[in-house]
Amino acid sequence: MSASRFTLHRLWAIVLKEFIQMKRDRVTFGMMVGIPLMQLMLFGFAINSDPKHLPTAIRAADQGPFARTLVAALRTSGYFTLTHEAATEAEAHRLLQLGEVQFVINIPEDFSRRLLRGERPTLLIEADATDPSATGPALNAVRAIADHVLDRDLTGPLARLRAKAGPIDLQLHAHYNPENITQYNVVPGLMGVVLTMTMVIITALAITRERERGTMENLLSTPVRPFEVMLGKILPYIVVGYIQVTLILVAAHWVFRVPMMGSLPLLYAVSLLFIAANLAMGITFSTMAKNQLQAVQMAFFFFLPSILLSGFMFPFRGMPEWAQWIGSILPNTHYLRIVRGILLKGNGLAEITPHLWPLLAFLVVAMAIGVKRYRQTLD
């Protein structure tokens, strides 16, 4: 039967129709361009996993030169901004309790004396650790400072007091992002998040809207095939997806100065797979949802794990195994690794191939479910 074969002219009919409708719906189109820019500005500038200039109180019982050197070093590390001076322990604790300060640095009165005697005086730093990610980097910095800050003061006979090197000279190098610039991680990650959000929602609405407006019955009574409808609705949004990718890359380069080590054509090529996977997911949702509200809810149901379990927000390896297992189904997880790999590590096709298969598998499965669920009759 010639009527049941896939034809390009019917596919093209759907594609054209979708483009016209997209053109008419200016608000939605504006959002599709606006959302990535807004999220980029918000998250790009707002999220910082290496917070600095944290408010700090100092309780210095010893005002000697060593103590002053130490405080100056802490201040120049950039992590601590001295906002309060506490006279008593109680006052210091109150500041912590009220959240006025993140840290209290306690320098005991016999600091200089015990230092000179080689008795390793205590430097107590109290931290408000309710949010570990806020205090962690700062505390690491303190450790490094404490080891070597006094080296310059401890000269001549005092040189023996310098920190002794251990049996192993431990050196840590931070690769790919030695300065720990959060944007380098967040901005490429945003590409996956923005695409997941807009692509899934837009297509989740695509078929549901036809059903709600009553145009579906008309469409079903024509010879158009399910695969033609799906593909016809996906193709126009692939173009939109590429616009979003380009916007983010331009901003990443010019605004956030994210390094681009790898091949951009490669990144564009593999983005196709990711965009298509999300669109197929959206279409599948739209065949399940009874109305547009349900479609949006389903899209969010998919969107949240794509943010939380993909390694965008929290370190992937820190999650329990079952969560990692869920995470590795999600297209965003693999796309994040691909994008970060290409941009920050200069990965080539060989390095990213292990992440292409899961994307392809997801696309095929989502599309298959969608086509199967798209009913050609109203039965």
DSSP letter at 85 equals: E
The tokens describing 319, both together, are 């999650």
Closer to other proteins by Cβ: residue 1 or 350? 1
Closer to other proteins by Cβ: residue 350 or 378? 378
Beta carbons of 344 and 361 less than 8 angstroms apart: no
Least CB distance to other proteins at residue 200 (A): 22
Closer to other proteins by Cβ: residue 3 or 165? 3
From 40, 58, 224, 258, residue interacting with other proteins (rule: CB under 8 A):
224
Pairwise CA distance, residues 22 & 27, whole Å: 9
From 46, 222, 315, 350, residue interacting with other proteins (rule: CB under 8 A):
222
User: How many residues sit in the footprint of other proteins (CB under 8 A)?
Assistant: 29
Least CB distance to other proteins at residue 305 (A): 33
Pairwise CA distance, residues 249 & 166, whole Å: 45
Q: How deeply is 162 buried, as exposed, middle or buried, from its count of CB atoms within 10 A (0-12, 13-18, 19+)? A: middle
Element (H, E) at 379: none
| Binding characters for other proteins, 96-125, by CB under 8 A (x = yes) | ------------------------------
Q: Would you count residue 3 as binding other proteins (CB under 8 A)?
A: yes
The tokens describing 204, both together, are 């989740």
Closer to other proteins by Cβ: residue 12 or 268? 12
Q: What is the CB neighbour count within 10 angstroms for residue 324?
A: 15
Element (H, E) at 46: helix 26-46
Least CB distance to other proteins at residue 222 (A): 5
Q: How deeply is 148 buried, as exposed, middle or buried, from its count of CB atoms within 10 A (0-12, 13-18, 19+)? A: exposed
With vertex at residue 57, the alpha carbon angle to CA 52 and CA 61, rounded to the nearest 5 degrees, is 135
For residue 280, give the nearest of 375, 377, 367 by alpha carbon: 367
Least CB distance to other proteins at residue 215 (A): 5
Which amino acid is located at 311 in the chain?
Answer: G
Residues 15-74 binding other proteins (CB under 8 A) are 16-17, 20-21, 24-25
Query: Among 73-81, 98-106, 200-208, 217-225, which window interacts with other proteins (CB under 8 A)?
Result: 217-225
Q: Would you count residue 215 as binding other proteins (CB under 8 A)?
A: yes
Least CB distance to other proteins at residue 295 (A): 18
Closer to other proteins by Cβ: residue 231 or 338? 231
CA distances 178 to 125, 165, 171, 181, 259, Å, are 26, 24, 13, 8, 12
Residues 152-171 binding other proteins (CB under 8 A) are none
Q: Would you count residue 356 as binding other proteins (CB under 8 A)?
A: no
Query: Among 77-85, 192-200, 210-218, 307-315, which window interacts with other proteins (CB under 8 A)?
Result: 210-218
CA distances 252 to 180, 183, 343, Å, are 16, 9, 10
The tokens describing 74, both together, are 């802490």
Strand ranges of the sheet holding 54-60, from the earlier edge strand across to the other edge: 80-85, 54-60, 103-107, 124-127
Pairwise CA distance, residues 68 & 220, whole Å: 80
From 218, 291, 297, 353, residue interacting with other proteins (rule: CB under 8 A):
218
Least CB distance to other proteins at residue 190 (A): 31
Q: Would you count residue 223 as binding other proteins (CB under 8 A)?
A: yes
Least CB distance to other proteins at residue 281 (A): 25
Residues 326-355 binding other proteins (CB under 8 A) are none
Closer to other proteins by Cβ: residue 216 or 296? 216
Residues lying near other proteins in the complex (CB under 8 A) are found at 1, 3-4, 7, 9-10, 12-13, 16-17, 20-21, 24-25, 213-218, 220-224, 376-379
